[in-house]
Structure 1
């Protein structure tokens, strides 16, 4: 099953930089404003590698990818980034407040290398579709830098909490020793890292993981791109990646058969507390002659439509009101927020059944699937290919932001949805099915820059 490896990570020298100034959120969660802030925070901020600024003069030779490679090379030469002396795994915890609540949770896991498997091997499972243009971008970056600076967030199942006890000294929250590194990010999430270099301990952790399946929580694009790169490099090297076996180092610890055969990952136990999935709302723009009331009337063929009234002083209800209304509705439901009014939609089972007939029952039961199939595709005429290409639809975590885009005229309608549950996601994935892209938003995100895996 899962094949894991320790690695000699490339890490920032904490005597040369303030770690809070150089780490970032994952590349696909970085807005232009965040990119500017990261650039300003430090000349050594990782943004210059994972999501550098483009220039109007960029061409096939000098571009964002070549600059990323040159930057990484310079930082290594300056020893801003230094390789670890020995292979290790890294315990990793995140303490955070669940957005919209006062509940504090801790999510624990560990960073290591994971062997790259084709989905057909039934070791690594995906749960959502991907965007082709994102994969092309990441492949260009990986080839230029020959480094993985960001982790893939992987789930596994272990009700006995064996790895947690080995790494943190306890099966419950917290740890029995102080962290080697602690950073608070811009969302007030506290990230802690413990280096685990004892070969005997590493062997125990790897043994605890060798019968596990892995489910991608975050990082589908990077996983699929890394797998593509692995296959390309295997062909160049004349290696059959299916039969290539790991090597052993001087301590008897496994090493990938060739560097590209593995990718840096954070492994989190799906049976442990601390996992939070947020909804990703859909904002639709560029529709011809869209009118909210006309949409609601058309929707009544497929849904029970309830208009959510304005406030007593005539203002549109805000995000908290709409989300509370949505949360109070059992079963599948979503809110359509338009400039002409806001509407709560609950499906008419018999009416939508023909539109979902080609899907499995587990797929057809998902809010996000019904939104895509019945509303986006059937009612608004946006094909699956159009949506996957990133046309007409934006994906937004914050409901307030989604409403602002509609109110400002930058979008026609925002669909606020409920989060997918962990059990729904596991049920879909382990049955070799996928949800629409951006169906889940695991919170908080893994910081980029805590450790890096270099291929050279």
Structure 2
């Protein structure tokens, strides 16, 4: 199903590699304003390409990229390769070190209807247009989206581990994770990667807006090219792939914060009693532990008081949103229906853009926002499981907004992917075709 291919990556010149810590940056949608201003002061930091500052940002990024290429700040690897990317990290409250293993490559930008690339959330048009303009002007993909494939045999891990014996470079990023990059240029091994992925679907974990921009760009260029063959650079997207069967693949919860309430605290609690069992909790900092692993259970912090709330099982059939059972059964669906729609009156299609409903991954900060009167209430949630992500993706539906936070985030600056045709092509491209490409009726992709 999924057609992947190696890429000739662009990387910082060797003289800059010792300063790689000063060159990487957070993804465009998580970098804070404070982080931006600090990183902008670094003349070669990758943020100048991924989140360019000032007016006409896409034009500025394109001009700067041209200058960096000319001055060899960035240089392109000669041979196409699979780039191996490991992230070593710990989780809050634990000293155990995890290692998320994956690799970066190109993948065909499949239409959603083809059911090869599967999503679990919707995109915002404004963010897609922003990424699309940047891609159109620079022809450079500055950071890989995060995709998931399922291989119970973990047949590629031995090649990943072997490549890590000679890493290209490593750094500690803004999250505290240790990021390590290695490369595989062995033709036989690359073809094995392609073979393993050829019968897989890919679940999009993170980077829906960047993928959507690549898909839109491919569709635009295809319509403008009467000689379209399917092997043009614009057909491909830059992706970081990890195996869902890796135990170190972690999803963290994203909590919900209400900055405004149309009720008093007591009135809000009274309304909740209709659908929820409410139990006072003495220590607010224990909320996340108290609800851990409990279905349809949430922590509520309201006016300096903590509660465990849990949906009354007999109320669940009243959830009348039209969606597959696997989505309806999610904790977050229950929260968004019974609290934000039924009590707050925020209709489902308006919740994503409702200004008083905010999303925060930091448990302690959620409590602080209420204590400092910056918010009225915080709902502490459990994380979505990997199995739930799979089932929702396979169902063709989407989760409530901000349901998943795959941790750690991929960083920008380790590797760049060009879709300029002359930079995309390789003299040995024919070596990477597992079978002659053939169009299928109604398909935008190829069979391999």
Report if TM-score (shorter chain) is over 0.5: yes
Change beyond 3 A, Cα 1:350–1:301 = same
Structure 1 position 280, deviation (Å): 0.7
The equivalences for 1:184-203 within 5 A come to 184-203=172-191
Q: Is the 8 A contact 1:230 1:261 kept in 2?
A: yes
CA drift of 1:231 comes to 0.4
Is the Cα contact below 8 Å between 1:151 and 1:266 reproduced in 2?
yes
Q: 2:384 aligns with which of 416, 420, 423?
A: 420
Paired residues for 1:52-63 under 5 Å = 52-54=52-54, 58=55, 63=56
- What does residue 401 of structure 2 align with? 437
Offset, 1:284: 2.1
Shift of 1:176: 6.2
1:394 CA drift (Å): 2.0
Structure 2 length as normaliser, TM-score? Answer: 0.89
Instruction: Write out per-residue CA displacement over residues 284-334 of structure 1, whole angstroms, 9 at most, x where no aligned residue.
Output: 2244x443322111011111112223x6xxxxx3xx32212222x622211
Specify the alignment match of 1:4 in structure 2.
4
Shift of 1:236: 1.4
Gaps of 5+ in 1: 170-174, 246-256, 312-316
Q: Is the 8 A contact 1:8 1:83 kept in 2?
A: yes
Structure 2 SS opposite 1:45:
coil
Aligned to 1:336: 300
User: How far 1:202 sits from its partner (Å)?
Assistant: 1.4
> Per-residue displacement from partner, 1:337-367 (whole Å, max 9, x unpaired)?
2225232210012224222453332122211
Contact conserved, 2:323 with 2:397, CA < 8 A, in 1? no
Residues 407-432 of structure 1, C-alpha deviations (whole Å, 9 max, x = no match): 33332222110000001111111121
Counterparts in 2 of 1:110-259, with a 5 A limit?
110-169=103-162, 177-238=165-226, 244-245=229-230, 257-259=231-233
3-state SS of the aligned residue for 1:374?
helix
Provide the C-alpha distance between the structure 1 equivalents of 2:349 and 2:13, rounded to a whole number of angstroms.
Answer: 45
Residues 164, 182 of structure 2: 8 Å contact kept? no
Question: CA separation of 1:176/1:87 partners in 2, compared to 1, >3 Å: closer, same or farther?
Answer: closer
TM-score (norm 1): 0.87
User: Hey, what's the Cα distance between the residues in 2 that align with 1:392 and 1:51?
Assistant: 27
C-alpha RMSD of matched pairs (Å): 1.9
Contact 1:106 1:273 in 2 (8 A): no
Cα distance in 1 for residues equivalent to 2:296 and 2:93: 21
Contact 1:292 1:340 in 2 (8 A): no
CA distance in 2, matches of 1:290, 1:24: 42
Checking the alignment, whether the CA contact within 8 Å between 2:7 and 2:82 is kept in structure 1 is yes
CA contact (8 A) 1:296 1:343 kept: no
Give, in angstroms, the shift of residue 144 of structure 1.
Answer: 2.4
State the Cα deviation string for residues 373-419 of structure 1 (Å, max 9, x = none). Answer: 11112211222332223533222111122222223333222211000
SS of the counterpart of 1:379?
coil
Q: 3-state DSSP class of the match of 2:306?
A: strand
> What is the aligned partner in structure 1 of residue 49 from structure 2?
49
SS at match of 2:45: coil
For residue 248 of structure 1, what is the aligned residue in structure 2?
A: none
Structure 1 residue 110: Cα displacement: 0.7
Alignment CA distance shift 1:394-1:77 (3 Å): farther
Structure 2 match to 1:324: 289
CA distance in 1, matches of 2:227, 2:365: 49
Per mean C-alpha deviation after superposition, the further-off stretch among 136-145 and 438-447 is 136-145
Q: Write out per-residue CA displacement over residues 192-219 of structure 1, whole angstroms, 9 at most, x where no aligned residue.
A: 1111122222122212221111011111
- Contact 1:131-1:388 within 8 A present in 2 as well: no
Q: Separation in 2 of the partners of 1:43 and 1:177? A: 32
Segments of 4+ in structure 1 off by > 6 A? none
Deviates more, 1:210-219 or 1:343-352: 343-352
CA positional deviation for 1:30 = 0.9
Please state how far the C-alpha of 1:276 moved relative to its aligned partner. 0.5
